[in-house]
Amino acid sequence: MDSSLHKHYHDDEFDPKAFVDTYFSGKNFSLIDEIVDYPLKQLRETFSSGRVRGDTLIDISSGASVYQLLSASDIFKEIIVVEFTEPNVQEFEKWLKKDPGAADWSYAAKALCELEGNREGWQVKEDKVRRAIKQVVKWDVCKDNPLDPVVLPQVDCVLSLWCLHKISGDKEAYQSNLRKFASQLNIGGHLLLFELLNMTYYKLGEHKFFILTFDDKFLIEALRDAGYVIENNDVLPSRKGCDLLDYESVMYVIARKEREV
């Protein structure tokens, strides 16, 4: 199928609840260890090491995601969540309010508790995230200033999972979005970024969705051009096939903002 015919993340056909159910609930998804367990482990190690700290974190991830914030809420007093569509904002707020029918993130919360040797505290962990979240705002991919009219302060950390290659139509747009992320960071602040390398699509329901395809060399160079210094990166080759999406490996990057660009 021609990738130009794929749906886009910000299209109406993207259902954030179905996205969570499909990829993050643990229900027969063969890559759950790479998509959920691996980020949980990496973020726990990053935050517990003390190398990334501060008062405020901005999360810019895809699909009304929660699991990446479970460890972050142990470190950061305030979390600002950025979503890309009104349905994503609404779905995230349902989870915040514990509304009936909200997306179920218990698989990830229980998995982190198991990593920490605390199998009984997953609901406590979720509630700690809820208390830390101070604001949920929308990022409009069609605007030069995507947060307009909201103005956010520069913060100590930006955390992003699985979104830049969904919202960027080409490599130039990807580099532009990396600079926009950097504009939200203090000098010396950190970007924690998870991406899927050499990916060409993912499925949700009956639709295939667009993904910008790139390798690790492009990502590292794009980060440097956007004013970041790479402090650490880790690549996990994918060991399984799956008809829901294709990628060669998962990459996790810890990058420090060195300068304004």
**Would you list the domain boundaries of the chain?**
3-257
Residues 6+ away with beta carbon under 8 Å from 216:
197, 233, 235, 249, 251
Sheet with 245-246: list strands edge to edge. 207-210, 201-204, 245-246
For 72-109, what is each residue's pLDDT tens digit?
Answer: 999 999 999 999 989 999 999 999 999 989 999 999 99
Amino acid present at 206: E
Domain 3-257 has CATH 3.40.190.10: no
pTM listed for this prediction: 0.94
**CA 211 vs CA 41, 166, 196, 203: distances in Å:** 25, 5, 10, 11
For 16-64, what is each residue's pLDDT tens digit?
Answer: 999 999 999 887 899 999 999 999 999 999 999 999 999 999 999 998 9
